[in-house]
Chains A and B, each alone.
Chain A
Amino acid sequence: GQQVMQIPQYQHVQEGEDFTTYCNSSTTLSNIQWYKQRPGGHPVFLIQLVKSGEVKKQKRLTFQFGEAKKNSSLHITATQTTDVGTYFCAGPSGSQGNLIFGKGTKLSVKP
Chain B
Amino acid sequence: DAGVIQSPRHEVTEMGQEVTLRCKPISGHDYLFWYRQTMMRGLELLIYFNNNVPIDDSGMPEDRFSAKMPNASFSTLKIQPSEPRDSAVYFCASSPRRQSGEAFFGQGTRLTVV
Q: Contact: A45 with B50, CB < 8 Å?
A: no
Contact A97-B98, Cβ < 8 Å, known A43-B43, A45-B103, A103-B42: yes
The A-contacting residues of B in range 69-114, CB under 8 angstroms, are 91, 93, 95, 98-100, 102-108
A96 interface neighbour in B35, B55, B93, B103, Cβ under 8 Å = B55
Q: How large is the interface on A (under 10, 10 to 19, 20 to 34, 35 or more residues)?
A: 20 to 34
Q: Contact: A98 with B43, CB < 8 Å?
A: no
Contact residues in B for A98 (Cβ distance below 8 Å): 33, 45, 48, 55-56
Does residue A108 face the partner (Cβ distance < 8 Å to B)? no
Contact residues in A for B48 (Cβ distance below 8 Å): 97-98
Contact residues in A for B43 (Cβ distance below 8 Å): 43, 88, 101, 104
Q: Contact: A97 with B55, CB < 8 Å?
A: yes
Among A88, A92, A98, the one with the most B-chain Cβ atoms within 10 Å of its Cβ is: A98
- Give CA–CA (A18, B9) in the complex, Å: 35
Does residue A44 face the partner (Cβ distance < 8 Å to B)? yes
- Give CA–CA (A99, B43) in the complex, Å: 10
Give A89-109 as 1s and 0s: 1 = Cβ < 8 Å from B's Cβ atoms: 010100011111111100000
Does residue A48 face the partner (Cβ distance < 8 Å to B)? yes
Output the nearest chain A residue to B91 by Cβ-Cβ distance: A42
Does residue A80 face the partner (Cβ distance < 8 Å to B)? no
Q: Contact: B91 with A92, CB < 8 Å?
A: no
Contact residues in A for B55 (Cβ distance below 8 Å): 96-98
A-B contact pairs, 30 of them (CB 8 A): A30-B99, A30-B100, A31-B99, A31-B100, A33-B102, A41-B107, A42-B106, A42-B107, A42-B108, A43-B93, A43-B105, A45-B102, A45-B103, A48-B100, A48-B102, A50-B100, A92-B98, A96-B55, A96-B56, A96-B98, A97-B48, A97-B55, A97-B95, A97-B98, A98-B33, A99-B33, A100-B45, A101-B42, A103-B42, A104-B42
Q: Please report B residues at the A interface, Cβ cutoff 8 Å.
A: 31, 33, 35, 42-43, 45, 48, 50, 55-56, 91, 93, 95, 98-100, 102-108
Which 6 A-B residue pairs are closest in the complex by CB-CB distance?
A97-B98, A45-B102, A103-B42, A42-B105, A101-B43, A92-B99
